[in-house]
Structure 1
Amino acid sequence: MTEMATVTNLAGESVGQEFLVFTLGDEEYGIDILKVQEIRGYDQVTRIANTPSFIKGVTNLRGVIVPIVDLRLKFSQPDVDYNDNTVVIVLNLMQRVVGIVVDGVSDVLSLQQTQIRPAPEFAVTMSTEYLTGLGALNERMLILVDIEKLLNSEEMALVDTLRAS
């Protein structure tokens, strides 16, 4: 289990960790808001030959070449559709900027440690090593993703290869 950052507001009480909530199909996912640089509409990208289909290509973001990963394809979602809600979440991960394509972004939620359950031993869409847990908020269930671990995993090392070329 990774260390969870705790955000403290001006009054001094703990407000929990903040997650950006995005959707992939019917599922809601949460990623650490501190890793999010910006959210933008999906633009065409420059395709790079010999890369897996989930790496859509690269885009030029104010002079920085950013690889764009379609998480919907990565998680084997059927019928991936690009529409007005499709967005790219631009992430700042250590020394790397990466964009992920998702179906939409809904909100930012603050979760207390008590609202975060351990990840189940099995996960349908991704390996459990990339899950930090499940966020329970009333009737909502958020799949909390360690986006840095996911995008730095071996299969994503291709993202580095793209940037080197």
Structure 2
Amino acid sequence: MEATETKQYIIVNLGTEQYGIEIKYIENIIVMQNITRVPKAQSYFLGVINLRGEVIPVMSLRKKLELGSDIFTSVSRIIIVKPEPSAAPVGIIVDEVKEVITLESSDVEMLNYDEKDEKASLSAGVGKYGNELINLLNIPGIVLEKEASKKKNKGTS
């Protein structure tokens, strides 16, 4: 591997921690809106929003990562992500969107996890940016975790 691969990430805050979301997954970033609750959804799914006529499910990234309840402020945002080109978009709530950064593959450390650990699929590694460490989120692992088994059972449509 002689060529250095670079990827762009949007840095977001959840509390005092910084996380990176690879730009290729992001469709849109919008201000907080009213979220319509959906009965019997997982605890981290807050409900749905209407975005230009499309119904988008919205999840709490804080609850998904077990970081406590959301605290909505004027800088809270909903990031619309698409984990795969054929997948439906999903909104994830973050406390704040900070900046866009570019990391080279040499700046990203992959972490070794126990394969049985469900939380292992949520991180894509740790990025070194200046003197800061940024947890890089695995968007397909976060969004598609439960849905993948449902799709297998249904088959392709």
1:67 aligns with 2:57: yes
Work out whether 1:103 is the aligned partner of 2:103: no
TM-score (norm 2): 0.82
- CA pair 153-116 structure 1, distance change in 2 beyond 3 A: same
Query: Matches of 2:148 and 2:73 in 1, distance apart?
Result: 25
Q: Is the 8 A contact 1:15 1:110 kept in 2?
A: no
Deviation at 1:59, TM superposition (A): 0.7
Q: Do the aligned partners of 2:46 and 2:58 also contact (CA within 8 Å) in 1?
A: yes
Corresponding pairs, count: 143
Q: CA deviation at 1:157?
A: 7.0
Which residue is equivalent to 2:12? 22
Q: Are 2:4 and 2:105, in contact at CA under 8 Å, matched by a contact in 1?
A: no
The answer to whether the Cα contact below 8 Å between 1:131 and 1:144 also exists between their aligned partners in 2 is yes
Call closer, same or farther: CA 1:86–1:157 in 2, change over 3 Å.
farther
Distance 1:116 1:76 in 2: 24
Q: Does 1:89 align with 2:79?
A: yes
Q: Percent of aligned positions with the same letter in both sequences?
A: 24
1:150 positional shift? 1.4
Deviation at 1:100, TM superposition (A): 0.1
User: Which consecutive residues of structure 1, in runs of 5 or more, have no partner in the other structure?
Assistant: 1-12, 159-165
Which amino acid is 2:12 matched to?
F
Query: What's 1:4 paired with?
Result: none
SS at match of 2:35: coil
Shift of 1:78: 3.0
Name stretches of at least 5 consecutive residues in structure 2 with no aligned partner. 151-157
